[in-house]
Structure 1
Amino acid sequence: MPASRFAVPSEVPGLAARRIAADILDGVLHKHRTLDDQLDGAGAHPGLKTLADRDRALMRRLVATILRRLGSLGHLLSRLLDRGIPTDAPRAQSALLIGAAQILWMDVPDHAAVDLSVRLVQSDRRAAKYAGLVNAVLRRCAREGQPLIDEIKSQNLDIPPWLLARWIAAYGETTAREMALAIGHEPSLDITVKSDAAQWASRLHGEALPTGSVRTLLQGSVTMLPGFTDGQWWVQDAAAALPARLFGDVAGKAIVDLCAAPGGKTAQLAQAGAHVTAVDRSPARMARLRDNLARLSLHADEVVTDAAEWPGQSGGGFDGVLVDAPCTSTGTIRRHPDVAWLRQENDIIALATLQKRLLQRAVALLKRGGTLVYCTCSLEPEEGEQAIVSLLAAEPDMRRMPIEAGEVAGLEEIVTADGDLRTLPCHLPHADPRLAGLDGFYAARLVKS
């Protein structure tokens, strides 16, 4: 990527953040790269190093807002453009999306949103000829955009049609549309604390959830918040914090966490006193797990290998096995809106095959009388309920140990008729939509007889 694409000291304030946002959008929409890959680690956009914290936060919010509202934005721009969005200049498309998102959903003056989008296309050789078009369309958006958006609010255009159809089939039309509505809101920050949730809720200007997590609306760099450097808590959606608790008292027990990185559930188990073995195939992700545990002053034995092939360790089976299986991650769209546009329906089949292999390995690693907890952050039944039905049919030694509402803070709506855990984005309502919702998670607890 040319150096000229990065911020320079004399540049118009805010333009660098929008330029990088445009690059990252292009990465998601045209190169099929995830947001995580472009924001963190070795593949992160090099221009991020030049941004101040405030601009970095703006850039992240811009990208997330656009991806969260991509269907609505596409419909809106098609109404405002006589010949559709230019296809020969990706920067023109990005500039239109960035400008319209700011005008309609962000606290940015309309004139600034228009001006910076025009500058964005002017600075790109292929897109410069569309500067006048971008200017005219965004000015029209400022005048006419909101009524056009209001017209389509009930159509759920921001969830891909194939995915919405699946949710309607699995959960019913009313619930599916409530899920889509919940996903449209920017999520809060959820954290798992080592102790005293009420105290940390006060310090972080949030609230303690009934499940024990702390939820806050604080924004900015997580590393600057009280307690992070001291290792008093870690970021983890409230739904993601539930599966590890299904083991009950794990003090002194040997638990293996398959597909463990980045380590939130490993940390929970270690904090609860378990002897944890964390297994993950990715050296980079395992390094992140190691860093997280070091900050938290927690320990786990680490194994870098394919969990589906790992033979285990000498000395017999484990008291517990946690399978947090790779999945389509459709339950995390509220936090990772790129997932909606990167996943395809045929991904489910390949991932369900991998999940089956991981479950078979988990059963082999488990001692008799031991507990297996299987979970995915997917809303697709093939990756949750159907996977467990298939396992129970194939493994006569395994039986379901139903979850009771009292184990999950009395939230009866997240326990299925079979006694499994199923959280939906529309669960945990709140008067303030920003403080509502959960990631979509499935979990089942099985015992080896």
Structure 2
Amino acid sequence: MSQSGVYARRSAVYLLDQVLGEGRLLPELIGAGALEQLQPEDRARAQRLATETLRGLERADRILQKHLKKNPPMTVRNVLRVATVELCSGGAAHGVVNDAVELVSRNKGTASMKGLVNAVLRKVAATGPEEWKKLRVPHLPKWLRKPLVQAYGPEAVAAMEAAHFAGAPLDLTAKGDRGALHRSLGGDFLPTGTVRLESAGQVSTLPGFKRGSWWVQDAAASLPVQVLAPKEGEKILDLCAAPGGKTLQIAASGAEVTSVDDSELRMARVYENLKRTGLKSECIVGDVMEQTGEWDAILLDAPCSATGTIRRHPDLPHAKDGSEFGALIELQAVMLDHALSLLKPGGRLVFCTCSLLPDEGECQVEDVLERHEGLTVDRDALNLDGIDPAWITEEGGLRLRPDYWADKGGMDGFYMACLRKG
């Protein structure tokens, strides 16, 4: 039996227990050191197993329910889920089943269920892979699916769910020559300038990482700074800046950027990325509402539901229930009003959220235009390479969805608009 496999699977089950039982998010758990005790390869494997299980949770449960008279305790159920996803994805039955039985046996509270686990997984190994292929693409939970269907219709939501289930490739933004990055790493050169790799392996071992020639950033997340169009010498404020991809883009333009985030832990990622790439920004750990001064341009990547990132973060719909939406929408409006007060006359502000919900995007811009006389939407800022005019919304913002570029691997859901102060 591979002890390495047991350790990775045990950690994957722990992550699932925390997400499904405690409502915690995977980045929070991993950032808090949940996988620190593992070797790098086991750490990556545990995270992959947890992510793939969350992505295929509905399918796993449908297969398991045929073999269970009642649901076992959560940890045992999560052992079964991880093993089912592995078995249905081509995992070797002997190793998967034996490790699952071992995990249950190690805990006095669940040791009596090792026979059940063994029997169920032997059946799954025999019939599960074929059943898996016939099951529908997993649906989003009702609390999220309902408002998305209202906004986009059932066909569009089904296409988004397919993108979520497929997962996300690795997108990279170049510090300098995008063509050189593409030539160095291969992959696809997306219309908006991002280099996309389908299978990258360990990111830190890729050519150019240590030299700081590029950083990881979804294609959709790279667009707000392109819309902002920073210029050399401009004073630009990046609000809610962590983990720093947009700060790096602004700094690479030659603008003088100040980055603000209220989390010291998240801001540490910004410092780390700036050091690796050799770019410069003044970094402030503080409250957005306490910032002062006059700025040529501002980027506000406001706190939001993050519902646009599910293809990379399948834990989100399982850890959340939508109860925080109202408070987030109010916070976005307050932050937006304050950020506008910091703009010089004639200055521009890009408001963006990685959300699929119109209340966190289109509706916010419609409302802020009513609250501020002389404020306009700069539609010309959206004239960028790779932007489909159909993505531009009625009020003049840019709506991106996971099902866009489906033939290229999709993109995160995002909304952005460029506002001009009169």
The answer, yes or no, to whether TM exceeds 0.5 is yes
C-alpha change, 1:250 and 1:446, in structure 2 (3 Å) is same
Name the counterpart of 1:48: 36
Partner Cα separation in structure 2 for residue 86 and residue 410 of structure 1? 49
- Within 1, Cα distance between the matches of 2:20 and 2:211? 38
In structure 1, which of residues 220, 239, 244 is the aligned counterpart of residue 201 of structure 2?
A: 220
**CA distance change for structure 1 residues 237 and 193 in 2, over 3 Å: closer, same or farther?**
same
188-197 vs 378-387, which deviates more?
A: 188-197
Structure 2 counterparts to residues 237-386 of structure 1, below 5 A: 237-307=218-288, 309-313=289-293, 317-386=294-363
Structure 2 counterpart of 1:6? none
Q: 1:388 to 1:238 in 2, by over 3 A?
A: same
Partner of 2:30: 39
Residue among 16, 20, 24 paired with 2:15: 24
- Give me the whole-angstrom Cα distance separating, in 2, the residues matched to 1:37 and 1:390: 33
The answer on whether the counterparts of 1:328 and 1:343 sit within 8 Å (CA) in structure 2 is no
Length-normalised TM-score, structure 2 = 0.96
Question: What is the one-letter code of the residue matched to 2:263?
Answer: S
**Do structure 1's residue 448 and structure 2's residue 399 form an aligned pair?**
no
The 5 A counterparts of 1:192-231 are: 192-231=173-212
Deviation at 1:249, TM superposition (A): 4.4
Contact 2:401 2:413 (C-alpha < 8 Å) held by counterparts? yes
- Paired residue secondary structure (2:290): coil
Whole-angstrom CA distance in 2 between matches of 1:215 and 1:276: 27
Q: Secondary structure at the match of 2:352?
A: strand
Asked if the contact 2:138/2:165 (under 8 Å) is kept, the reply is: no
- Equivalents in 2 of 1:55, 1:448: separation in Å? 51
Q: Distance in 2 between matches of 1:120 and 1:419?
A: 54
Residues 130-184 of structure 1 deviation map (CA, whole Å, 9 limit, x = unaligned): 111111111111222244434431xx54411221111111011111100001110
Q: Is the 8 A contact 2:4 2:42 kept in 1?
A: no
Q: Deviations over 1:321-369 (max 9, x none)?
A: 1110010100000001111112222211110011011101111011110
Partner residue of 1:422?
Answer: 399
Amino acid of the structure 2 residue aligned with 1:94: N
- After alignment, is 270-279 or 160-169 more displaced? 160-169
Q: Is the 8 A contact 1:71 1:159 kept in 2?
A: no
Unaligned runs of 5+ in 2: none
Structure 1 residue matching 2:329: 3-state secondary structure: helix
Query: Structure 1: how far apart are the matches of 2:298 and 2:390?
Result: 26
**Cα distance between partner residues in 2 of 1:311 and 1:207:** 40
Using the size of structure 1 for normalisation, the TM-score is 0.90
Give yes or no for the alignment of 1:127 onto 2:123. Answer: no
Amino acid at match of 1:218: S
1:91–1:124 Cα contact (<8 Å) kept? no
Residue pair 1:403, 1:420 contacting (<8 A) in 2 also: no
Structure 2 CA distance for aligned equivalents of residues 180 and 410 of structure 1? 22
Q: Where does residue 149 of structure 2 map in the other structure?
A: 168
Aligned partners of 1:72 and 1:158 also within 8 Å: no
**Equivalences, count:** 422
Shift of 1:393: 0.8
Contact 2:192 2:384 in 1 (8 A): no
Percent identity reads: 38
| Structure 1 residues 73-112: aligned runs within 5 Å | 73-83=60-70, 85-87=71-73, 90-105=74-89, 107-112=90-95
Question: Aligned residue for 2:56?
Answer: 69
Secondary structure (helix, strand or coil) at the match of 1:174 reads helix
Taking a change above 3 Å as real, the CA distance of residues 324 and 11 of structure 1, as seen in their structure-2 partners, is: same
Q: CA deviation at 1:74?
A: 2.1
Alpha-carbon contact 2:182-2:195 (below 8 Å) kept: yes
- Residue identity matched to 2:44: A
Q: 1:158 to 1:173 in 2, by over 3 A?
A: closer
Give 2:410's aligned residue: 437
SS of the residue 2:416 aligns to: strand
CA distance in 2, matches of 1:437, 1:411: 14
Report if the CA contact (8 A) 2:382-2:398 is conserved. Answer: no
Pick aligned residue for 1:234 from 215, 223, 245: 215
Q: Aligned AA for 1:200?
A: L
Query: Is the 1:28–1:35 Cα contact (8 Å) retained in structure 2?
Result: yes
In 2, Cα distance between the equivalents of 1:222 and 1:49? 20
Letter in 2 for 1:328: S
Name the CA shift for 1:138/1:378 in 2 (closer, same or farther; >3 Å).
same
Amino acid at match of 2:3: V
**CA offsets 1:187-217 (integer angstroms, 9 cap, x no match):** 1110101123233223223111111011002
Question: Given residue 86 of structure 1, which amino acid in structure 2 is its aligned partner?
Answer: P
SS in 1 for 2:347: strand
Q: Is the 8 A contact 2:224 2:416 kept in 1?
A: yes
Quick one: which amino acid aligns to residue 244 of structure 2? G
Distance 2:65 2:325 in 1: 31
Is the 2:23–2:320 contact (alpha carbons within 8 Å) kept by the matching residues of 1? no
Quick one: distance in 1 between partners of 2:106 and 2:186?
41
Please report how far the alpha carbon of residue 406 of structure 1 lies from its aligned counterpart in structure 2 after TM superposition.
3.6
- Residue of 72, 84, 96 corresponding to 1:113: 96
CA contact (8 A) 1:258 1:321 kept: yes
Corresponding residue of 2:377:
400
Give the distance between the partners of 2:230 and 2:299, measured in 1 at CA.
Answer: 14
Root-mean-square deviation (CA, aligned residues, Å) is 1.7
**Amino acid across the alignment from 1:44:** G
Is the CA contact (8 Å cut-off) linking 1:57 and 1:220 kept in structure 2? no
